[in-house]
Structures are given as C-alpha cells and as structure tokens.
Amino acid sequence: MIVRERRTRPAPWNVRKQSSAHKWTLPFIALEWIWEWVAFALSNWTFLEVLEYLGSFSVLVAVILYFSESGDRIKQRHYQAWQVINTAQGKGGSGGRIEALQELNEDKVPLVGVDVSSAFLQGVHMKSANLLRSNFSAADLRNSDLSHCNFTLANLGSANFRGAILDHTTFAQADLRNADLNGSSLADADLSGAILDDADLRSGDLSNVQWQNLKSIVRANIAGIRNAPQGFVEWAMKNGAIDRPNADE
C-alpha cells in the first residue's frame, strides 16, 4: 500500500533561488523546485487517494473471492481425479491413477467401490483409505503403504502385494485368492471371513493377525512366515495350506 502524505507548499522561486551559491547550480535547483510543485499538487489531489483506496479494496475482494470459491476448486479437483480413475478402468499401466487415488485419499474422500483392476499402482500410499467393496484384482501394489485401510468385501484376487505394508488393515470377507503377499507386513490385520486360497504368504509378517475366522486357506503357501500367532500354522496346514519355500522354481 502506498502511503501518501500532504506536502507543504514549496517556497516561491525568488526565495528558493537565493539558496544557490553559484549560478551554475540554478538549473538543477530550478528542476528540483518544479518537481516539488508537481509532488505538492499531486499530494493534494483527492482522486489519487480514491484510486489508492480502490486498489486496496480490489485486493480485499480478490482474497474474499479466492476463499469463497475454494470449495468449488476442491470439487473440481476431485472430479478430475475420479475422471482419471474411471477413464482408465480395466486398463493396465498407471494412467495417473496413483496420483489421483492419493489425492482423493489425502482429502478424506471415501474410495468405496473404486475399480482399479489390473492397474500398475506400485508404491502407492493410501494409508487409512476406505476401500470397501473395491476391485484391485490383478493390480500391482508392490511396496505400497496400505496400512489401516478398509478392504472389507473387496476383490483382491491375483493382486500383487509383495513388500507392501498392510498393518492394521481390514480384509473382512475379502477375496484374496491367488494374491501375492510374499514379504508383506500384515501385523494386526483383520482376516475375518477372508478367502486366501492359493495366496502366497511366504516370509510375510503375521504378528497379531486376526486369523481365527478365516474362511478358506486352501493351497496358500505359508513357508517362512514370520511372527505367526499361536496355533495359526497348525490350523492352516490342517485346512489345506502348503509349505513350499521354492514354489517359484
């Protein structure tokens, strides 16, 4: 903001020129005296003061409009993110879906029923996402952070979760058939009602996992699992699980 001051009237020329000790300085003094009069005249021009206030007011209006329209901008951003996800539905590759999913989740938007089957989502970070009834079948989710997520009733068949963080994640009644969970962390995960047939659980961390109400674990490979809860290995082997460390060979 420009600070305007009321200037005092310059001295008359016959008074001002007397301040010159040498005649050769008179042109410079005269020029300065002229600009003093210009500054004096402008400082008393009310129109300029009005313009200054209008400039400040326009800035205030712009700030108000910016914040008042923030909701619309957020909605537009969410719409674009959903458009990216839905347009690429059923296709391979990322197609911008990693960024779109992360952005929606960061804004606490529920991702219920989202379909990203066959998508390349390696390294996606969606901590605490609500993925109820979602479809991640055959998706590549290696090294992702999906801790505290809700995968209740989700289709996760043939999904690749190698090295993923799935701590405290809910897989209640989820379909994990043929899912690759090799080396993933399932600490405190809820597997109530989940189907793990043909899943690869090798080297997975099952610390405090809720397994008692698992629906099926037929042919699931539990070789080298870490921190298995008491009774889990015995139960799994009795219900069709296998222990084959070199199953890839």
37-92 pLDDT tens trace? 677 666 666 665 666 666 666 776 666 655 655 556 788 889 899 999 998 887 77
Q: Is residue 2 part of a domain?
A: no
- Phi-psi sector, 94: left (phi>0), alpha (psi -120 to 50), beta: alpha
Per-residue pLDDT reduced to its tens digit, 122-159: 999 999 999 999 999 999 999 999 999 999 999 999 99
Residues in CB range of 103: below 8 A, 6 or more apart: 77, 81
Residue 217, pLDDT score: 98
**Is 83 contained in some domain?**
no
Task: Output the CA–CA distances (angstroms, integers) from residue 81 to 77, 103, 109, 111, 126, in the order listed.
Answer: 6, 8, 11, 11, 14
Please determine, for residue 25, whether its predicted confidence score (pLDDT) is greater than 80. no
DSSP 28-39: HHHHHHHHHHHH
Residue 5 located in a structural domain: no
Could you tell me if 243 and 125 lie in one domain?
A: yes
Residue 193 lies inside a defined structural domain of this protein: yes
Residue 69: CB partners within 8 Å, gap ≥ 6? none
CATH code of the domain covering residue 144: 2.160.20.80
Indicate whether 110 and 22 sit together in one domain. Answer: no
Residues 98 and 209 in one domain: yes
Same-domain pairing of 120 and 44: no
pLDDT of residue 113: 95
Instruction: Give the pLDDT confidence of 183-216 residue by residue, as tens digits.
Output: 999 999 999 999 999 999 999 999 999 999 999 9
Average pLDDT of the residues in 90-105? 89
77 lies in a domain? no
Tell whether 228 and 113 lie within a shared domain.
Answer: yes
Main-chain dihedrals φ then ψ at residue 200, nearest 5 degrees: -105, 105
Query: Which residues are bridge partners to 29 per DSSP?
Result: none
Q: Is 82 helix (H, G, I), strand (E, B) or coil?
A: helix
Nearest partner of 202 among 177, 175, 179, 181, judged by Cα: 181
Q: Judge if 144 and 109 occupy the same domain.
A: yes
pLDDT (tens digit per residue) in 110-125: 999 999 999 999 999 9
Sign of CA dihedral 81, 83, 86, 87: negative
State whether 108 and 56 are in the same domain: no
Question: 243 and 138 in one domain?
Answer: yes
In this prediction, residue 194 carries a pLDDT of 98
pTM above 0.75, yes or no: no
- For residues 198 and 162, membership in a common domain is answered with yes
Tokens of 9: 């009237």
Q: Is 19 part of any domain?
A: yes
The verdict on 59 and 109 lying in the same domain is: no
Burial of 211 (0-12, 13-18, 19+ CB in 10 A): buried
Answer whether residue 75 is part of any domain: no
In angstroms, rounded to a whole number, what is the distance separating the alpha carbons of residues 118 and 105? 20
pLDDT in tens, 209-230: 999 999 999 999 999 999 999 9
239 HSE (CA, 13 A, CB side):
20
Domain span at residue 127? 92-249
Residues 46 and 120 in one domain: no
